[in-house]
């Protein structure tokens, strides 16, 4: 390696070391804010967190770092494959960051800080009008952002889609969602017409302390090593952490909905296993963590839906649940439980949706984002458009903005282009599951009592690479073919046709 490349690498690594150190501070701050800090505490440390962000921005845009990344990018043929990928990603991000005028960057951060509490309040009051002026400013910024980032090859919504998932675009997602719409909407309508049994037993009270005991039991099942994980509570379940040695999930316990905490736990532990199984050699690099949003979501959904809602899983783990909740589940068979946790129901809220209707919730957001960004839909008309689409795709009437357009936090945080990755993740999961099933007898592995074998397969084929390759390349190597959404469509059609006793077409 040339001397000046060596020198650039040392500048780059020292800067990264400092960014990572501040990353610990950001992680601890958000973890504490979400799980434990009292209300007054959070608002009074805003200024300190702002200063840490300022220090982070100064590091990330420092002239010596910029020069170092340029030098390394120019000399990238001298670097090993992992470092070369890392530098390519960093170079791309640097170029994007430098196209944002610094005053705009600062003003947008401040706008988001102000928008968050307004969004929370507006959601509480189910009052979109209150939040609308902020969302208009956020959307305006995004439109200006798209102009700054415009290239001959890429413009508009494509730019944002590509930021959340490399090598995606409107063309790519349109094709995916068109297929899903064509295949799933009729199936959903046929199932809705058929209806579900009453499942009255599921509406009993399931004491929260017992639910927590069962989640501790699931920690063992999911190989979620207590020496480097934490399970805590928060308003909405999420996964956080500080690299492979510190992985944390939260849960939320509803006394009248025992399934909620169970599947949230499995979902978040799916995310967590990914973080825990990234190759240790990537620890101090920018290639730790998951390959992309969609790849992360594929891991949580594979565990939650394909493993956690399988009959084999419950034949193995239902006895422990039934024992804990003897009064409530005495007369509920494992088959009945399995049907209950796989019931399809057209509903209002994405995060509570079942596996089959979930992509339709995302489709709605995708279509609305496209229209917002190309100017064919005004922010103030969002609630109306939202209602229309929920009626059309899911056949439900939205009673108010809280259960409607204000339900998701993403837009208030400036995240446009994020939603489609949820569905793409589910589609990746189906393709990975298919490949896994060729290497392993998955049901037999599940019946061993833990997900050890499955987690090992995922470690070997996905997790260990971290973010050192593009997600589609990882998927290709793991499954032997490029992304193909038909695995997802077939998985859903097979599973739910069988569950509801319908012909496949």
Catalytic residues: 268
Who's near 37: CB < 8 A, 6+ residues apart?
Answer: none
Nearer to a second copy, 49 or 89 (CB): 49
Smallest gap from residue 68 Cβ to a second copy (A) = 18
Q: Does 36 bind a second copy (CB under 8 A)?
A: yes
Nearer to a second copy, 139 or 222 (CB): 222
Nearer to a second copy, 17 or 391 (CB): 17
Q: Does 38 bind a second copy (CB under 8 A)?
A: yes
Spatial contact of 146 and 156, defined as CB atoms under 8 Å apart: yes
Query: Can you tell me which of 1, 28, 378, 477 binds a second copy, judged by CB under 8 A?
Result: 28
Smallest gap from residue 244 Cβ to a second copy (A) = 8
Nearer to a second copy, 54 or 448 (CB): 54
Query: Can you tell me which of 5, 49, 106, 130 binds a second copy, judged by CB under 8 A?
Result: 49
Smallest gap from residue 48 Cβ to a second copy (A) = 4
SS3 257: strand
Token couple for 388? 């229309």
Please list every residue from 256 through 315 that binds a second copy, using CB under 8 A: 284
Q: What are the CA-CA distances from residue 72 to residues 3, 20, 56, 95, 96 (Å)? A: 11, 20, 21, 14, 17
Between helix 3-35 and helix 63-74 the angle, nearest 10°, is 120
Burial pattern 197-232, b for ≥16 Cβ within 10 A else e, equals: eeeeebeeebeeebbbebbebbbebbbbeeebbebe
Q: Does 62 bind a second copy (CB under 8 A)?
A: no
Nearer to a second copy, 46 or 352 (CB): 46
SS3 238: coil
Listed residue (332, 179, 172, 188) closest to 259, CA to CA? 332
Which of these segments, 42-50, 127-135, 289-297, 362-370, binds a second copy (CB under 8 A)?
A: 42-50
Cα-trace Rg, the chain: 23
Smallest gap from residue 256 Cβ to a second copy (A) = 24
Query: Can you tell me which of 29, 345, 371, 453 binds a second copy, judged by CB under 8 A?
Result: 29
From CA 359, how far away is CA 196, in angstroms rounded?
Answer: 20
Q: Does 13 bind a second copy (CB under 8 A)?
A: no
Smallest gap from residue 79 Cβ to a second copy (A) = 23
From CA 491, how far away is CA 355, in angstroms rounded?
Answer: 11
Q: Does 17 bind a second copy (CB under 8 A)?
A: yes
From CA 129, how far away is CA 180, in angstroms rounded?
Answer: 33
Token couple for 98? 């430098």
Query: Can you tell me which of 32, 121, 147, 381 binds a second copy, judged by CB under 8 A?
Result: 32
Q: Does 109 bind a second copy (CB under 8 A)?
A: no
Q: What are the CA-CA distances from residue 26 to residues 55, 90, 160, 227 (Å)? A: 12, 20, 24, 22
Please list every residue from 208 through 247 that binds a second copy, using CB under 8 A: 226-230, 232, 242-243, 245-246
Q: Does 37 bind a second copy (CB under 8 A)?
A: yes
Number of neighbouring beta carbons within 10 Å of residue 117: 11
Smallest gap from residue 204 Cβ to a second copy (A) = 25
Nearer to a second copy, 31 or 491 (CB): 31
Nearer to a second copy, 21 or 205 (CB): 21
SS3 423: helix
Token couple for 303? 């565990």
Smallest gap from residue 226 Cβ to a second copy (A) = 6
SS3 248: strand
- Site residues, a second copy (CB under 8 A): 17-18, 20-25, 28-29, 31-32, 36-41, 44-45, 47-49, 51-52, 55, 226-230, 232, 242-243, 245-246, 284
């Amino acid at each position: 390696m040339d001397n000046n490349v060596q020198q650039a690498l040392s500048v780059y690594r020292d800067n990264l070391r400092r960014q990572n150190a501040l990353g610990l501070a950001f992680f601890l701050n958000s973890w504490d804010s979400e799980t434990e800090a009292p209300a007054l505490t959070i608002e009074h440390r805003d200024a300190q967190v702002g200063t840490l962000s300022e220090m982070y921005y100064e590091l990330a845009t420092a002239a010596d770092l910029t020069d170092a990344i340029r030098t390394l990018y120019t000399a990238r043929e001298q670097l090993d494959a992992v470092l070369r990928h890392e530098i390519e990603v960093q170079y791309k991000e640097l170029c994007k960051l430098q196209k944002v005028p610094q005053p705009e960057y600062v003003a947008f951060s401040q706008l988001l800080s102000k928008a968050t509490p307004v969004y929370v309040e507006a959601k509480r009051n189910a009052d979109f009008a209150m939040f609308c002026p902020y969302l208009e400013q956020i959307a305006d910024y995004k439109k200006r952002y798209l102009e700054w980032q415009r290239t001959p090859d890429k413009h508009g919504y494509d730019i944002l889609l590509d930021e959340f998932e490399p090598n995606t675009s409107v063309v790519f997602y349109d094709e995916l969602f068109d297929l899903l719409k064509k295949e799933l909407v009729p199936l959903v309508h046929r199932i809705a017409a058929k209806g579900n049994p009453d499942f009255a037993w599921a509406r009993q009270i399931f004491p929260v302390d017992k639910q927590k005991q069962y989640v501790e039991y699931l920690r063992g099942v999911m190989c979620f090593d207590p020496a480097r994980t934490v399970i805590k509570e928060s308003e909405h379940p999420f996964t956080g952490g500080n690299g492979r040695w510190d992985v944390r999930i939260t849960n939320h316990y509803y006394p009248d909905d025992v399934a909620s905490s169970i599947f949230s736990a499995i979902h978040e532990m799916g995310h967590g296993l990914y973080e825990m199984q990234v190759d240790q050699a990537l620890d101090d690099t920018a290639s730790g963590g998951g390959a992309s949003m969609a790849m992360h979501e594929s891991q949580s959904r594979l565990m939650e839906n394909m493993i956690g809602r399988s009959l084999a899983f419950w034949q193995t783990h239902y006895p422990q649940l039934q024992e804990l909740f003897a009064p409530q589940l005495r007369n509920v068979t494992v088959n009945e439980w399995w049907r209950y946790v796989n019931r399809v129901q057209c509903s209002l809220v994405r995060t509570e949706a079942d596996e089959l209707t979930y992509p339709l919730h995302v489709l709605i957001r995708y279509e609305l984002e496209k229209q917002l960004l190309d100017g064919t839909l005004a922010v103030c008309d969002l609630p109306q458009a939202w209602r229309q689409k929920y009626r059309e795709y899911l056949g439900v009437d939205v009673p108010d903005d809280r259960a409607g357009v204000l339900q998701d936090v993403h837009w208030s945080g400036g995240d446009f282009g994020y939603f489609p990755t949820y569905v793409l993740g589910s589609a990746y999961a189906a393709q990975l599951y298919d490949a896994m099933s060729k290497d392993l007898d998955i049901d037999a592995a599940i019946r061993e009592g833990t997900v050890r074998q499955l987690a090992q397969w995922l470690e070997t084929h996905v997790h260990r690479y971290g973010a050192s390759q593009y997600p589609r390349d990882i998927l290709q190597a793991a499954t032997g073919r490029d992304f193909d959404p038909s695995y997802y469509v077939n998985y859903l059609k097979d599973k739910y046709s069988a569950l509801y006793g319908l012909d496949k077409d």
